[in-house]
Structure 1
Amino acid sequence: MIMSVDENFFTRVYEVVKKIPSGRVTTYGAIARAIGSPRASRMVGWAMNKAFSYHEYVPAHRVVNRNGMLTGKHAFPNANTMQELLEMEGITVVNDKVTNFEEVFWEPKSCW
């Protein structure tokens, strides 16, 4: 079976996201840089919207925008799920924003 460009890209994104430690967050842009596609943060967002259909668990709740905002919360079962998952890991969220973003930010290592 030949994997499409999108499937390969999405798989690379998911492999990075699966490495985000519990209690930490990263950004769409940081993931894009880590996989060697620094201008593809929007496509990383598309991949995160599809993460629930991936064959392995992907902790999508740990991916936020560059300001720490929970911009991907619409992809979860309800409007509060992303925040609840982050709070269960000790991350404080107020008004859809990680309050101590700089402290809990995780920079992925380049993978490709």
Structure 2
Amino acid sequence: MQDYIREFYGIIQLIPKGKVATYGQIAKLAGLPKHARHVGFALKNMADDTAVPWHRVINSQGKISLSKEDGLGENIQILKLQSEGVVVLNGKVNLKLFQWIL
């Protein structure tokens, strides 16, 4: 596994329950500003049995960014966020209320 992917996963594990972070935020914290797509790639290719709370990472607009072909995936992410107290309305999270600030 590439070092930056390990770094992404480590940062994502720091996001507390009830909070979210953006792909760009994770990239910046890992020292790779402007590499948000690398974070998305790392999450997309993550093992299914991982303990990394992938569901806490969303796009910079506060939207759930799973592809349309993931059908149930979006529902799983929303359900996981809601179970932690994050309010999701129309597939979007209010970053002013729920964004993790380190």
Q: Which residue of 2 aligns with 1:106?
A: 100
For residue 85 of structure 1, the aligned residue among 77, 80, 92 is 80
Consecutive unaligned residues of structure 1, counting only runs of 5 or more, are none
Q: Which residue of 2 aligns with 1:23?
A: 18
Residue 54 of structure 2 corresponds to residue 60 of structure 1:
yes
Quick one: distance in 2 between partners of 1:54 and 1:9?
19
Q: Displacement of 1:11 after TM fit? A: 0.7
Q: Which residue of 2 aligns with 1:94?
A: 89
Structure 2 SS opposite 1:45 = helix
Q: Percent identity?
A: 34
The letter of the residue matching 1:104 is F
Structure 1 SS opposite 2:100 = coil
Structure 1 residues 76 and 22 mapped into 2: Cα distance closer, same or farther (>3 Å)?
farther
Structure 1 residues 76 and 23 mapped into 2: Cα distance closer, same or farther (>3 Å)?
farther
Structure 1 residues 95 and 76 mapped into 2: Cα distance closer, same or farther (>3 Å)?
same
Query: Normalising by structure 1, what TM-score?
Result: 0.80
Per-residue Cα deviation, 1:14-46 (whole angstroms, up to 9, x for no partner): 000000000000000111110100021111111
Quick one: distance in 2 between partners of 1:105 and 1:54?
25
Q: Of the two, which has the highest radius of gyration?
A: 1
Q: Is the 8 A contact 1:70 1:97 kept in 2?
A: yes
Which structure 1 residue ranges, 4+ long, deviate > 4 Å from structure 2?
A: 73-77
Structure 2 SS opposite 1:30 = helix
Q: Is the 8 A contact 1:76 1:82 kept in 2?
A: no
Root mean square deviation, CA, Å: 2.1
Query: Normalising by structure 2, what TM-score?
Result: 0.87
